[in-house]
Structure 1
C-alpha cells in the first residue's frame, strides 16, 4: 500500500494537463473512446429516488440569490449559455454542464457578487465538474482557449481553489440529470417510446431550463419530471389517458402536486417555443397546439 501523502489541492502541472489533452478524444466525452458501464437496475428504484429527493434540498441556491437574479437574469443566463457552449465544444460528458451551472449558482449564492472575470468563474466550475464526472477531465488550456485567453491557466487554477473553498469542497450536487434515468426506469412498463430518444429529448429540455433563470430555485427533481413529461407529450405516442397516468406517476415520483408538475411542464413548453422562434412567444401560438415540438438534439435550440 502506498504510504505517500495525497493532496486534495488543485496542484496539477502543465505537463499533467498536456498529457490528458493528448489522450482526450474530442466528442467522446467521459469515455474518451472507452466503453461505459451498462445501466445497473439494482441501483435504481424508489429507494434511490427518495435518497436523491432528500439530498437535493442541500444544494438549492438561497432564496435571496434567486430573487436577485430573477430581477435581472440576463447576465446569469448569458453565463450559463456560454458554459453550455464550452461543454459542447470540448466534448464533455452530459453530466458536466448541469453540475457546472449548479456550482456557479451556489458560489454566487454565497458570494452574492461576481468575480472580476465571470467567465473565469464559469470555466473553474466546468473544470471542477469535469473532474467529478469524467475519468479524463477537460484541461485548463482548453478552457482558456474557449474564453479566448481572457484569463490564464494560473488564474483559472486559483479561481478553482476559491470555488472549492467557498463551497467547502461540497461539490457533488444533485442535478435534474441525476433523476432522469431513475424516472425513466420507473416508467418503463407504462410507456411506449424508445428510451434513448426519450432520454435525449429530456436532457435537452433540462439543459434549456438550466440556461433560463425562470427555473432557478425549482427543485432538480421537479425540473427533471417536467422535462420528461414534456418529452412524452412532444413525442406524441400516447393518448390523453395514458399521458395523464404517466404525469400522475411522475408527480408521485418527485413528490409534487400534479398541478405543479403541469404548470412547470407548460413553462418549459413556452420557453421551448420562445427558443425555437427566437423571440417572445405569441399567445395565440401557445393555444394552437398543446404538444411541445421537442427537438432531437441541442443544436435545434437557439441557446
Structure 2
C-alpha cells in the first residue's frame, strides 16, 4: 500500500435533493434526516434468535421490583406514558421508547427508590436510548423543554451519569422490538411475501408491543414472548388468515420464543383485553351520539400507537 496516499474514513454518503427537501418539509423532524441501512437477511434466522433468547434474561428486572410495581402501577405507567409522548413528539426511532423504559425499570430495580425528579430519570433514559439507537440523538434541551423545565440540562447530564454508573454501562438491553423483525422474517418464509402487508403487520406489532411496555402487567414477561404475542394479535386483528393458518403461525411463534402454545395464547388474550380497555377509555373521552354503540368484538389493531389511549 502506498504510504503517500491519503486514506479517509469519513462517510461521504449523501442524500439526493428530493430526499433532503422532503425531510425539511416534515414538521417536527430533526435535521438532518437519517440514512438507514436496509434489512440484511444474513443477520436473521434461528442463530440470531437463539442468541437473543440467551441474553434477554439478563435484562429482566428483579421479582421484588416487579411485585412492588404491580401493587401500585400508576406512577410507573405515568412515567412510561410521558416517555412515549416525548419519543413520538421528537420523532424517535421505534426502538428508543422500549429501550428507555427498560433502562428505567432496571435502574429502579437496582435502587428501589424514585429520585427527586422522576421525569429527569425518564428523560435521562430517553437520552441514553437515543444515543444508542440513533445517529441524530435527542438533545438535552429538547428533553428539558418536554418536561417544562422542571430540571436543567446540567441535572439531566448528572442523572445520565448516575444511570450509567448504576447499570455499569450495560445499556444495550434486549427489547421486544429486537425480536419482531426476526419473527416477521419467519412469517415471510411461510409464504406471506406481500411487502405492504408485512409493513402493516410490523406497524401493528410495534403498536401492541409499545402498549405492553406501558402496561405493568407485562413487566415480568420476557421480551421474546411479548414480541410473539404482539405479532400473533396483529395477525388475528388483520383478519386475512383462516383459523388453520393462524393456528400454524401461533405454533411457529411459540417455537421461536421457546414457550408453550398455551402461554402464548394467554398473553395474546391479555394484549387483546388491554387493547379493548384502552380503546374503550379513548372512546369514552370523545363525544358520541346516542345511537352509537361500542362493539365488544376483537378490535383491529391501529397502525399508529398514538391512536391508543395509553
Q: TM-score range by the shorter chain?
A: 0.7 to 0.9
SS of residue in 2 equivalent to 1:187: helix
SS of residue in 1 equivalent to 2:189: coil
Query: 1:294 corresponds to which residue?
Result: 301
Contact 2:61 2:109 in 1 (8 A): yes
Query: 1:79 corresponds to which residue?
Result: 79
Query: 1:17 corresponds to which residue?
Result: none
The structure 2 residue matched to 1:202, chosen from 197, 202, 205, is 205
Query: 1:53 corresponds to which residue?
Result: 53
SS of residue in 2 equivalent to 1:188: helix
Query: 2:249 corresponds to which residue?
Result: 246
Which is greater in Rg? 2
Contact 1:230 1:292 in 2 (8 A): no
Structure 1: how far apart are the matches of 2:223 and 2:307? 23
TM-score by length of 1: 0.87
Structure 2: how far apart are the matches of 1:172 and 1:288? 40
Equivalent residues, number: 275
Matched, 1:138 2:135: no
SS of residue in 1 equivalent to 2:113: coil
Contact 1:222 1:261 in 2 (8 A): yes
Structure 2: how far apart are the matches of 1:73 and 1:59? 20
1:191 CA drift (Å):
5.2
What is the RMSD of the two structures over their aligned residues, measured on CA atoms? 2.2
TM-score by length of 2: 0.85
Structure 2: how far apart are the matches of 1:133 and 1:44? 19
Contact 1:233 1:292 in 2 (8 A): no
Contact 2:56 2:173 in 1 (8 A): yes
Deviations 1:209-242 (A, max 9, x none): 0000000010000000000000000000000000
Moved over 6 A (4+): none
SS of residue in 2 equivalent to 1:197: helix
The more displaced of 178-187 and 193-202 is 193-202
- 1:144-159 to 2 correspondences below 5 Å: 144-159=144-159
Contact 1:27 1:92 in 2 (8 A): no
Contact 2:34 2:135 in 1 (8 A): no
